Amino acid sequence: MIRVLFAATDGRWEEYRTVLPAALAAAGLEADLSRDHAPEVVDYIVYAPNSPLQDFSPYTRAKAVLNLWAGVEDVVGNDTLKIPLCRMVDAGLTEGMVEWVTGHVLRHHLGTDAHVLGQDGVWRAGAPPLARDRRVAILGLGELGAACAAALAALNFRVSGWSNSAKAIAGVETAHGAAALPQVLAGAEILVLLLPLTPATECLLDAAALGHLPQGAVILNPGRGGLIEDAALLAALDTGQVAHATLDAFRVEPLPPGDPYWAHPQVTVTPHIASATRPGSASRAIAENIRRGEAGEPFLHVVDRARAY
């Protein structure tokens, strides 16, 4: 019997208490999922970083911690975590992100806001350029970024991508390393942030980086709030260096009612909905990693502690 500890909030437990056992059974695993296993009998920990569990040292038998979220910045630095940590990568999460990013890129590309909000009797003539003439840049070419880049390229956008290490994506011009970032930013009429939050990416989009963007660029951030230096972005919005920012992730969530982003006319706030972990597909991803662990196969999506993602 494989003992799986579910270490997450009450709400998450209600979402997973039936679908995760079903996924484990479908994977051919005889598993006991519980929130109350004694630490010394636990084989795997299904985990959300906002769980009360913060000390992993009593879990001497556990083989892996399987994160329910794509982001691991709130757990990767935990000194008591010595076993493999696997981030969540699942088809539903990827599809949701592609839909959000594609929808908002098209919204800004087509100038939809002016037509939807400007129902004031003014005939605003002029068509947008074709997608083939619109430059979109994506920072971060992991699972989510690569999928979004490919989807936008399929719509004929001129897509460039930037990452820490070299990547190759059909139809996308890629670059990597710090030296290449200013040039990628300079070609970004619409900029999408999909980097993980690490010490190297904290406040990556600061005043200097914003200054490399073409005048009137649009920023979409469905990644992590800490990628942006908030004061610098607000200043760039006020000067028109950045025409609009559509933000889905913030340093503090929920975004406090008095935060300047709420009131800024050139900011759209969405409540961290760009992509959510869906219990059905996430459960299948967790079950596959437990199956692999029991079969002696390598775990999928193991976090590199040195890179923090």
Q: 30: which DSSP letter?
A: -
- Where do the DSSP E strands lie in 98-145? 135-139
Pick from 247, 249, 293, 280: nearest CA to 104: 247
Sign of CA pseudo-dihedral 218, 175, 103, 99: negative
Q: Show which residues are catalytic.
A: 224, 272
Q: 205: which DSSP letter?
A: B
Given phi > 0 = left and psi -120 to 50 = alpha, else beta, which region is 55? beta
Q: What six digits make up the tokens of 158? A: 């001129």
Judge residue 297's burial from the number of C-beta atoms within 10 Å of its C-beta, 0-12 exposed, 13-18 middle, 19 or more buried.
Answer: exposed
Pick from 298, 293, 290: nearest CA to 27: 290
Q: Residue 76, SS3?
A: coil
